[in-house]
Structure formats: structure tokens, C-alpha cells
Structure 1
């Protein structure tokens, strides 16, 4: 049943809506069309947030929208949309979707294969459009005509109760688009909401359908979950709901083995990433995926070395195996997997405390990322923790002081005491050198 929340009863202000979105809304309205801000922007504005994207819903067809805006382009085959471009901002304008099998515009069409919507260009009414959306909190409309909020499905109540309800039968909606299961997790993590029990119930049964989704699309969804400031909570919800194994099978396997050190590494890595996002600092998918997949890579490499395989070959083979399996689910671009493989392959080199090898490692382009990764591994063992401290201190020493403290050959930091003693010994050797003596290279 329609609930209209008048301007004086909600917190949305036009001051918090982008100028580009307002220009689109006003022009559509002045041309005689219905024009609404819709979806996540309305939801976030009601929660006091600051949306990055503003989507518009209207009864104008994409072709009619294009006639109104010279700076407009039509995109999409599965869902035909209009993009109105103002500088760096793109306002997405969607025509109200219908629920019938045939569109009222003559050229509208819907095509469903095995329950999945592969094309949906059936135009309809705003009431039908609301029913076509995924979650009730995403189906509210801000009317530029009178500044009210229209709620057709109970979204305002869900905002107040901090819960995510799916619109319609959950199993049917997930079969239409399996990625909706991941969207439920991502939204719950972002908003601090709980997922309604009925919405979460089909996850275990329908989780395998994620294998049918495009790996490239799942990569994009992974970035939204893990690199938007709510990665740790997203990861925990993925595991709690059982969806982790369908997205990252290697991670799920490693955690099921009870590897608490790996869990600590993953959670600390995600927590650090969330903190960087909050501070406006850059984050990279390569480091994050290296963290997630480390457990399986490490275990495979050690297993192959135990069988007599050369260390470098073992690490390379382990990395290729794990990356190959993961990319069948989530298509991580090669520019990121190359960095991941370098971060992993550099880990055993931190144990080689020899003069040339230390300086060669410090000069490596991926040294900083690999060193940060080493620090994350501190929970693995006291030896790894001491190794991290050694390298942290070594970077603070002048080149000649560090060089004097290091053996020319034969040093290996497999023993924590030897690793920890290195920088401390540097000062003693420095003091004992005779005047005029040169530090060894």
C-alpha cells in the first residue's frame, strides 16, 4: 500500500542532492514527465548519508529522455538506460519497469532463461517499477514535484527497523539474479542492518548459482564489498551466511581447517583497508586478494617443497594454481594477479639475512607491499613476528650501518634470535671499526 511521507516528515534536503541530478529531475518534470530520485540515494539520504551516485526514475522512455538532453547517451541491452553526463558526473535515468510479459511501448521486451532475467525492457507504472526492485529499502521514490517520499513496499519501515527484506519471493528473485545474494550481504554490512531470515534462508541452496554469474561481474561486486570501507563486516557476513565458499573456495577451505593465524591476517588486512578508505587513502585490490588467498598458496607451496620441489618453483606453482582456480569464480585482472604473485614470492626472501640479498630485496618495486604483508603475518609464529621487527628496524638504519651488521653470506633468518640480533649488532660493529675504516659493501 502506498505511503506518502510529506516534506516536513522526512530529512531529505535538496542541498544534499547533486546539482546534476537536480537539473535532470527538474527538466523531466518541466517537460511533463514524472521524475523521481530513486534507490540507494533515497535510502542513504534518509539515513543521513551522502550518496555518491544519484539515479532517476521516470515514465519517459530512453528515447524521450535523449531528446531532452543533448548530453545524453543510451546504453545497455539487458536493461536499456539513459546516461546524462555533466562533467565527471553521470546521472542514470531509468524508465519505469513493468511486471507484464509484454511492454506497452511496442519495442519493450523481457527474456528469461532458467529463471534468470537476461533482458528486461518492459515499461510500466511506478507501482510496477517498485515491485521490480530488489530490497524494500531501495524502492522508495523522492518526488521532485512536491518533495515527498513515496513508499510502495514498506521501505521506510525497514529503514526504521534496520532490516533488509527482499521484495517478492526470495528464491525466485535470487534465481532471476544470483548476485542479489551478495548485494544483501554488502548492503547489510554497509548499513549495519540485519538480513531478514526469509531473505537469507535460500543462500545455502542457491549459492551455487553464483557460479553462473559473470566472473567479471563478481570481481566488481567483490570490490564493492571489500574496498568501500565495510570490508571486514562484509567478509564476516559472507562467512556467516555460507556464501564465502561460493565466491572464494580456497579461503573457505583454509578457514575450515581452523587456521586462526590466517583468520587474524585476513581480518587485520580488511580492517586496515577499511581504515585507509575512511581516511581517504588509496587501496589496491592486489594487496587485498593476496591477503585473502595467502593461506592456500602458503600451504600448497610448503606441501610441494616437502616433496622435494625447488622453493621458487613451489611458490610459483602454488600461486598459479590458486589464482587459476579463483579466477574461474572472480575474474581478477592480470595486472593485479601479477602483483599478488610478487608479494607471495617475496615472503620467503625476507628470511635470507645476507648483505646482497637484503639490499636487493629492499630495492624491489614490491618491497613495501611485501613488507606490509609480512607484518600482517605476525600471528603465524614468534619467528615471523621477530622477522617483521627486524626488517622494520633495518629500514631505519643508514645504509652503511646496516651493511656492516650483515654477513656477506650464509645468514638466514629462520632462527628468530639471529634475525632480532642483526640491527642491534650493527652499532657495536660500527664502534669497533678503526678510524678511517670503510664499511663493507
Structure 2
């Protein structure tokens, strides 16, 4: 596509990305903007980041940029650092295949080289993929059709190798190549398909959607640390509620959150309503540029498994409620981190939010004022408020009490505590004065 056909201007592109491409071009290499940034500009969205692809090897890229660092084992990438902005530069990826005996004997054949630089596990998943190739091969190795468009600052054209513009017009998420093979190569592509569909208000093409339920269990082979990063993209994009519903539709909740799957019987159950309410609130905060923390979201996702585990421990082990709750919280987090690694800085906050659910009902004496000074009071209160809105009854009354108490002046707070004490204990009976015992008459 020429400049007049696609309408992309250099004004739409990060100045730092332009610097990277100009320098690569000036050194005799090809370079292009690729992937999500090209797609977003064509859809009228503002890209969050800019990725560049080139025929220069990672070592050649590093030789051109002092502010470059090479990262990655599965596929080697160059990060060009401009303060807070990082321009990711990748070398064109090529095809790989297992060499036959003649190739191995040749020693320096292309296939023999592929064996050294590309590796798959028993499930077909790529664990190393440093095979370099041409732009045409790179396009075939891209995941979705709308991510295989390349913008050049050399001639201002867009190369569309896989019908990406057509996918945008039809609003379809469609994989390049055989979907089952591509999912086996990298099961995270199933999550990406859902994320793009929710984020871009698209549908997933039937050929791309059909294998997902069958292959969902492959996600258990993905390192938990990588899945943590992927779930942040899923739920902190401003489309978390729609994404969660789509994950459930395609059977992707169980491999990510096995403990909550049994609770999601239907959309009307309280557990489902609670999670959707939290995601809806999170979406609103993100779309209004307010801060959010993954700890709150994970605390919500695992709240009902925690409640159930605590009750089981009390019934089976005879533990008191406090000890059962503490043990259950540790076990629930430990089980979740087998699938998705939750960094300690977030799991600690999750525990604080959960513990506050135990403490907030205890408001007598100085406890209410002490809870107001707790560093995580606001998060604990917000969590309680959503629980109250979903479950109603005494829980909602408790949340409403805290809503009033935290904003009241000192006199009103004292009055609220006095009223609470009276309502809990009722009127205190008057103490009857004991009459002194009669002294026996002197003998």
C-alpha cells in the first residue's frame, strides 16, 4: 500500500522509533515498523509502543546503538533504551526444520544451522527460535494476520502479507497458518487471540477459535512467570470484564485459575457476579487513568476458594476461624502460583486485603480508629464494599457503616460507635445494690 492508500504519517510514529529506523537504513539494513503499532494506527488508535523489525542480526544492532541491550533466550531481541521509552528491535525470523542425515553431514547447511538455533519440546512448543530469515518468512511466522503489516520510512509504504487490512475491515482475529500447529508452537497465542478480540471489539474467526478448547490444557506448560505477565495484559487493558467472559467461553479459565473454575456455574451465581463487578470497576479506573493494582484483582479472583478452604479446615481439623483462615490463605496462594507466579509484593497485599475482611466487622473501642490508619484500609474497604453490593444483607450494612464512619467528623464517629455498642448489647441492666447481710443477734 502506498502512502495515499494507508494514510499513516510519520507524525503518528514515535520520534525514537524513527531514529532507530533511520540509523538502521543508513547502515545499509532494511527496517520496518511492525505489528500492533501499525494495526493500531490504521484503526485510529494511539499505539502504546513501537516495535521495529530488521534484517540486521542482534549483534549488528548492538554495534549501531550504544543504548542497546540484548535480551531473551527463546528469541534474541534488542532493546534500544531512550529514557522511559524502549524500542524493541527484532531480526526477521525464518523457518526452521529438523535436518536429515545428509544435512547433518554437510555441517554448514541451512537445515543444520536451524537445528542448532531452533528447538521444540514434545508438545510442539518452541523453546528456542533464533532462526533468521527474510521479511516474507518473518510475515509467515507472525501470529495474526493484522500483525503481519510492515511500515517503511524509506518509501512510506505498508507491506500487507497476510490480509491484515481485510481482517481489520471484517473485525476478525485470524491466525496465520494452521491454528493447531501455531497454538502448539506457543499456547499463549490462545490468550492473545482472546485479548485482541476483547480489546479491539472483534470476533475470533471460526478456524482460529475451534481448536482452543481442545488445546487449552497446553497452557499448563507455560512458565508461571510468563503467565503472570500475560494475565496482566488480559485484565489490565480496560477490557477486563469482556476478556474474562471470553476466556470462560473458550475454556481458558481452568488452566489459568483451576481453583475458581468450580465456582463459575453460570453468570448469575454470586462468585461470577463478584468477579465481574471487580473487573468492571477495574476497567472504569483504567479508562479514567486511575491507579489499579494486580493484588486487588487476584484477591478477588481467589476470595471464594479461600472462604471454602477456610471452612473445610475448620470442619475437618477443628481449627478456630482465625487459624484456619491464615492457613487457607497460604495454601490458596501457593496453589495458584503453580500456574501463575504472583510476586511477593502483590501476594503480601492480597493477604492484607483478606485479613481486613476478618477485622473490619470488629469495630468496638479503639479498633475502628486503628483500622482507619491501616496502610491497606482503603483496599480492604473497597473489597468489602463490592462483597456487600453482591451479597447484600449484614455485609452490605457493614460496608455502608464504614462508608459513613471514615468520612464523619470525630463527634459523629463517637456517636456511631456508641449507637453500635447499644445495638449490639442492648440496654445495660441496672445493677442492684446488694443489701448488707443481717448480723446475727449477740448471743
TM-score range, shorter chain: 0.7 to 0.9
TM-score using structure 1 length: 0.88
The partner residue of 1:343 within 353, 365, 368 is: 353
TM-score using structure 2 length: 0.87
Displacement of 1:362 in angstroms is 2.0
The 2-side partners of 1:26 and 1:103 are apart by 30
Which residue of 2 is the match for residue 161 of structure 1? 170
Say whether 1:126 aligns with 2:122: no
Q: Is the 8 A contact 1:103 1:123 kept in 2?
A: no
Q: Which moved more, 1:72-81 or 1:157-166?
A: 72-81
Which residue of 1 is the match for residue 429 of structure 2? none
The 1-side partners of 2:373 and 2:334 are apart by 29
Q: Deviations over 1:33-92 (max 9, x none)?
A: 211100111111111111121111111122222222222222222211222222222111
Which residue of 1 is the match for residue 42 of structure 2? 46
Q: Given the superposition, is the C-alpha separation of residues 194 and 213 from structure 1 closer, same or farther in structure 2, using an over 3 Å criterion?
A: same
Q: Deviations over 1:225-252 (max 9, x none)?
A: 1112121111111111110111011222
Q: Deviations over 1:341-375 (max 9, x none)?
A: 12112213222231222222222222111100011
The 2-side partners of 1:384 and 1:167 are apart by 50
Say whether 1:395 aligns with 2:406: yes
Displacement of 1:142 in angstroms is 0.6
Gaps of 5+ in 1: 412-417, 423-441
Q: Which moved more, 1:374-383 or 1:400-409?
A: 400-409
- Where in structure 2 are the equivalents of 1:401-440 lying within 5 Å? 401-407=412-418, 418=423
- Where in structure 2 are the equivalents of 1:137-156 lying within 5 Å? 137-156=146-165
Displaced runs of 4 or more, over 3 A: 100-108, 302-308, 407-411
Which residue of 2 is the match for residue 326 of structure 1? 336
Which residue of 1 is the match for residue 223 of structure 2? 214
The 1-side partners of 2:60 and 2:367 are apart by 66
Say whether 1:316 aligns with 2:326: yes
Q: Deviations over 1:1-49 (max 9, x none)?
A: xxxx111011321101000100111122222221110011111111111
The partner residue of 1:61 within 35, 57, 60 is: 57
Q: Which moved more, 1:294-303 or 1:258-267?
A: 258-267
SS in 2 for 1:36: strand
SS in 1 for 2:338: helix
Considering only aligned residues, what root-mean-square deviation do their CA atoms show, in Å?
Answer: 2.3
Say whether 1:237 aligns with 2:246: yes
Q: Is the 8 A contact 2:267 2:273 kept in 1?
A: no
Q: Which moved more, 1:99-108 or 1:22-31?
A: 99-108
Say whether 1:181 aligns with 2:177: no
Q: Is the 8 A contact 2:405 2:416 kept in 1?
A: no
The 1-side partners of 2:159 and 2:420 are apart by 74
SS in 2 for 1:406: helix
Which residue of 2 is the match for residue 200 of structure 1? 209
Which residue of 1 is the match for residue 441 of structure 2? none
Q: Is the 8 A contact 2:32 2:151 kept in 1?
A: yes
Q: Which moved more, 1:299-308 or 1:172-181?
A: 299-308
Q: Which moved more, 1:250-259 or 1:280-289?
A: 250-259
- Where in structure 2 are the equivalents of 1:346-385 lying within 5 Å? 346-377=356-387, 378-385=389-396
Q: Is the 8 A contact 1:227 1:273 kept in 2?
A: yes
Say whether 1:271 aligns with 2:267: no
The 1-side partners of 2:36 and 2:112 are apart by 27
Displacement of 1:106 in angstroms is 6.2
Q: Deviations over 1:375-427 (max 9, x none)?
A: 1012113221111111111112223432344259977xxxxxx58x99xxxxx
Aligned length: 411
The partner residue of 2:13 within 17, 40, 44 is: 17
Which residue of 1 is the match for residue 439 of structure 2? none
Q: Is the 8 A contact 1:104 1:123 kept in 2?
A: no
